[in-house]
Chains A and B, each alone.
Chain A
């Protein structure tokens, strides 16, 4: 019996392993010959088996053992990876997810499934194909051999942080070497960058290692360098002092020695040289085994488990540290003590680094969520009999873990809707002249202090007329209501609204979109639907990066401090207030370009100034640039963004607040909303 606590750890780990298994299997489905993935599957299964026996969960370890055997056979080529095997493995995974909770098979249904699957898997094991690969011939002879290695790293290799000398010394550790450097033509000294690598090397080495083992030494630079290894069937070239001398003298300062030349010189010493093989390594994928080694090396240090409470606490402390540091900076600025200023500057630097690292820790790539959908899309489209290409973009976009958790269910729902109601069946699509396979795109990206998540399908789209009549039927609107297309599409977020006339297993009960909207609103996000009949639907979710620290510009407006995120600012100008007041077009001519602007004093209801100067900060989003006028710019500021709370939910222009060094509060401006407002103003004026 496992203790409660270790059981929890076991289940957590097992679930993680199962998720990674699932994603690898899905990749394999597309490309069954992907050896590195078969390796991965096998390895993960092996880990799972090991974990299970360590925790004494025999049911799981025995079950996984069979699976492992299958993939071991596939790995060694005695078994072919068929769809049958993949399907069976996926079903087995589902079963594993259940039995890791029910380790004694108390549930009768589980028990039945368990033995059925074991039988099924065993049948697969015996189903060996005849395509048995020949055993790899092992060359265990420890024979001294000579190689000629040409090694030309790319010019940027030093910038990438690699020390070439280490490599050379490593080479000399495995045998006797003769290293001949070559320095390329130098540029003018003025153009010369001291961290460019302008050297290449010819190395002749005498070693007992095989060429593959030598190649292993270069594993970390293979992308960054041109490497050639030629085996010289010759024993003691480097030990021969005279040969060494001649080679070194005649080829000093010559780029890449031709093999024939080495041969020639060797001949003069009466050595019979035959070149066994030439191995071009440039852009050659490493063999399976090397890949394996590299990955397992990385694996052992990739992650440790930390409770999320501790991380949250760390975040809070860092936030407080940033605020405190701002106070210190303010104090040091006032007092002008040189030593204090030095220390303060260091503290600021350290704080900034600490901030970046700790915030990076709590963020998860959105990919963790995307992977879960992959499986769901596969299963759902199978059930519905539709063919769907599921594409994800921007999986490396990082979000707070809690946001990802909250988003999973709503996104799942939206994707299910797209599959069920959006994308048509193969026949329907062909009739419409579309590709047979539907396309579903899931995309995530940052913009300013927001993150956007889009779900786009190329299905049948939504008909505003249908939604309208349905809404009238449901009593959401009346015949007299005239709504814009946008407003009509927004109706789908009302509780109890569903246009699907048939309720299917997958979706269509009309509970859901309102919950989706609620979830997004809870995260202080917005959701926007766009749709074209027969062309598809796109759904855009926009979320503020609530828990974050941004680099901002601290500005002053009538004594109130505001923060503008530096990321959206394109330029700052000084303008005369007079120019802004007598301006009907709301356009200023700056740097020969007309810049639309918003007078924030006017917009926020402060007294307008008609003399003196203001600062105009030009901010932009993907499409528009707008200048916003402020009294003056105080300086740069690291702002810990704190939510304003539910009381300001309807507040448009401020996305959060931050605490300044003196303890007062500055408001973080949401420039996107300001640009939106500007665009709307233009529209209404037209």
Chain B
């Protein structure tokens, strides 16, 4: 675990570029380094009996890429497709292994740079998200953006636990 946070720190040290995007009406940000590419939404093949936040799989240059509904992952209502909807292809570190995963988001806003010291520590209370999902808060103009700890959000154990509760519900 320590190694992962260290790695993240190193990445954010080496580059302060972030990409901001919207889920529902909320703003989130990710280090640009973590993003492989941004896609328009192709045909998604739904996998039966999969947890509801997993939207399905797509063909990414000959490889099978799982696609996650970012909204459902964060406890919002499922995403509705618009012209702005797109897939962020992310490089996630799952137990030391590089895994590619696609995340559906409502829209992508911009790429910006910010000084390290402008990133505020995440508040321990007052957010409905798990504290370890959020790496920090970025204040831009008058609004707050949540900087995501992407490895944590998409880590395998995290998925497993969600899958398990889902199966329990089914029974």
Contact = CB atoms under 8 A, between A and B. Distances in A.
Nearest to B67: A647
A642 B66 CA distance: 12
Interface residues of B, number: 26
B147 to A, nearest CB: 23
B163 interface: yes
If over half of A's interface residues share one DSSP class (helix, strand or loop), that class is named, otherwise mixed; here it is mixed
A664 B99 contact: no
Contacts of B16: none
A651 B94 contact: no
A605 interface: yes
Contacts of B156: 646-647, 649
B109 interface: no
A651 B58 CA distance: 16
B94 A646 contact: yes
A320 B48 contact: no
Given A644-B57, A648-B66, A650-B167, A664 B94 contact: no
29 contacts: A320-B62, A560-B45, A560-B46, A561-B45, A605-B48, A605-B49, A642-B64, A643-B64, A644-B64, A644-B66, A645-B66, A646-B94, A646-B156, A647-B54, A648-B50, A649-B156, A650-B167, A651-B49, A654-B47, A657-B57, A657-B64, A659-B62, A659-B64, A663-B42, A664-B59, A665-B59, A666-B45, A667-B47, A667-B48
Given A642-B64, A644-B64, A659 B47 contact: no
Given A649-B160, A664-B43, A665-B57, A654 B48 contact: yes
B90 interface: no
Contacts of B48: 603-605, 653-654, 667
B63 interface: yes
B101 interface: yes
B43 to A, nearest CB: 5
A385 to B, nearest CB: 43
Contacts of B160: 649-650
Contacts of B49: 604-605, 651-653
B159 interface: yes
Contacts of A323: 62
A665 B64 contact: yes
Contacts of B46: 560
A603 B49 CA distance: 9
A320 B62 CA distance: 7
Contacts of A647: 54, 66, 68, 101, 156, 159
Interface in A557-577: 560-561
Contacts of A664: 43, 45, 59
B55 to A, nearest CB: 11
